[in-house]
Amino acid sequence: MTHSSFGGLGFLVLALAGSVDAQDKRPIQTEDMFDMRSVGAPVVSPDGAWIAYTLGRTSLEDERSYTRIYMSPAEGGEAVGLTVEGKSAGSPGWSPDGRYFTFTASRDEGENQVWALDRRGGEGFPLTDIEQGISGYRWSPDGTRLLLTIRDAEEKNEDKKENAPPEPWVIDRLQFKRDNLGYLTGDRRTHLYVFELGSRELHQLTTGDRDESLGVWSPDGTLIAFASNRTDEPDGNENSDIWIVASDLEEPTASPRRVTTNEGSDRSPAWSP
């Protein structure tokens, strides 16, 4: 059922792009690209009844692209828009009990946060309020915590005078630029955190001069597996491995347990049920 549902999403994209009669065939033009839609990130609700997904489009008039999240019945039917038209949202997800639908978005010129919609009704509300925003999230199996990936905050120069000229960028890394991040200045890295929804406490799990991918919870919620390149020169190779860290650390660790030793790119960890 899942595969056929995803296939239906592909058909939906073609339908949204507009049907073209055989008699109206003509060479594709640049403007046609702005009428195309892209579907991504499909996630099935815990009860298997709904599929949430992103639908991206580009506005030639506004000169920008944005992504909206929709929900469709798994058995087929009319799609329902879950997020605001004209404002980007991503990373659709469901709480384990299916009560909340969650996504990432930045609102009112703020940073990217995790937002939630109660499926029983009401307005969307933020679950997180992280100063520098979050890169990704994942629900814990029991629904009480969120695993977050957060990039280190920029260091603030308290001595900088108002209207002072911008400081030069100093880059000493082999990988000096990255999509969605821009120039990699300073030593800012992306690490794993656990956010307690009840107490709203944030616990950092990993640290050090390396980046971690968004991890996955073990079925019992005690461990988190993630990918990271922890070689001496991570910018100069693709030797990422799978690592495991406890989810209840009080202090971050620079020495998680290594699981793979392949001298290549090991990614996308997953647990058996």
pLDDT of residue 76: 92
Per cent of the chain over pLDDT 90 is 55
Sign for the CA dihedral angle at 9, 14, 18, 19 comes to negative
The arithmetic mean of pLDDT across residues 214-226, rounded, is 97
What band does 17 get if pLDDT is binned at 50, 70 and 90? very low
SS3 content of the chain, % helix, strand, coil (to 5): 10, 35, 55
pLDDT of residue 23: 60
Backbone dihedral region for residue 135 (phi beyond 0: left; psi -120 to 50: alpha; all else: beta): alpha
* Per-residue pLDDT reduced to its tens digit, 112-125: 999 999 988 878 89
Domain spans in the chain, listed from the N-terminal domain onward: 1-10+35-127, 141-148+170-273
Distance, in Å, from the CA atom of 10 to the CA atom of 75, rounded to the nearest integer, reads 15
Indicate the fold that domain 141-148+170-273 takes in CATH: Neuraminidase (2.120.10)
Q: Taking a C-beta distance cutoff of 8 angstroms, is the pair 114, 95 a contact?
A: no
What band does 187 get if pLDDT is binned at 50, 70 and 90? confident
Mean pLDDT of the chain: 85
* Lowest model confidence (mean pLDDT) among 71-85, 159-173, 241-255: 159-173
Helix or strand or coil: residue 183?
A: strand
Enter the tokens of residue 68.
């909206």
pLDDT of residue 14: 44
What band does 22 get if pLDDT is binned at 50, 70 and 90? low
pLDDT at 271 over 90: yes
Helix or strand or coil: residue 235?
A: helix
The DSSP line for 24-53 is G-----GGGGGG--EEEEEEE-TTSSEEEE
pLDDT at 148 over 50: yes
pLDDT at 20 over 60: no
